[in-house]
């Protein structure tokens, strides 16, 4: 891949990460107020709103919650869709991300970083289900990359 394409993909990745960070960490905070939210105060209520039980939130939205369908979609599918571009862009940008496990690890690591920041700075609540859904989104983004890779590889001639 030539330098111009790599630079373009890198800029796309940076823009994507900036938008994702705003949506994940600062969705309810105006950009002008972000710096004011970096504090280490302890709030017992905030701690209780965190979820450390796998599939608790997913099951709640799928089977228990008495909320509109659009709220379910926003909370479940939004976490998946938000990480699909990561699973597609990373393997295009660097060879080390052309294996599924490295894309999964990258998606999980980025998601874990967001969740820890939410936990520490109380930007939102930590939810282990977000880790699951975000990692799944990264995997889904990897699938079109593999399809593209399959169809763009050079054709080998069969010798008779």
- Quote the longest CA-to-CA distance of the chain: 74
Q: What are the mean pLDDT values of the chain's consecutive 10-residue runs (160 residues total)?
A: 92 98 86 67 66 94 87 92 98 96 99 94 90 99 96 76
Q: What is the predicted pLDDT for the residue at 69?
A: 86
Residue-level length of the chain: 160
Instruction: Determine what percent of the chain falls in helix, strand and coil, rounding each to the nearest 5.
Output: 75, 0, 25
Q: What is the predicted pLDDT for the residue at 72?
A: 87
Give me the DSSP letters along 84-119: HHHHHHHHHH-GGG-SHHHHHHHHHHHHHHHHHHHH
Q: Phi and psi at residue 45, in whole multiples of 5°? A: -65, -45
End-to-end alpha-carbon separation of the chain, Å? Answer: 33
Q: What is the predicted pLDDT for the residue at 4?
A: 94
Which residues is 51 bridged to in the sheet? 127
Of 148, 118, 146, 149, nearest to 134 by C-alpha is 118
């Amino acid at each position: 891949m030539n330098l111009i394409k790599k630079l373009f993909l890198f800029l796309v990745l940076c823009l994507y990460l900036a938008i994702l960070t705003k949506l994940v960490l600062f969705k309810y905070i105006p950009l002008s107020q972000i710096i004011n939210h970096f504090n280490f105060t302890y709030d017992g209520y905030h701690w209780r709103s965190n979820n450390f039980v796998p599939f608790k939130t997913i099951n709640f939205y799928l089977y228990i919650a008495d909320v509109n369908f659009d709220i379910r979609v926003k909370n479940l599918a939004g976490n998946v869709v938000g990480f699909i571009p990561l699973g597609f862009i990373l393997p295009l940008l660097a060879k080390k991300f052309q294996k599924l496990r490295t894309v999964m690890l990258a998606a999980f690591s980025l998601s874990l970083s967001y969740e820890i920041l939410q936990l520490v700075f109380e930007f939102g609540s930590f939810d282990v289900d977000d880790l699951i859904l975000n990692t799944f989104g990264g995997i889904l983004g990897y699938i079109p990359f593999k399809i593209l890779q399959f169809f763009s590889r050079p054709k080998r001639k069969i010798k008779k």
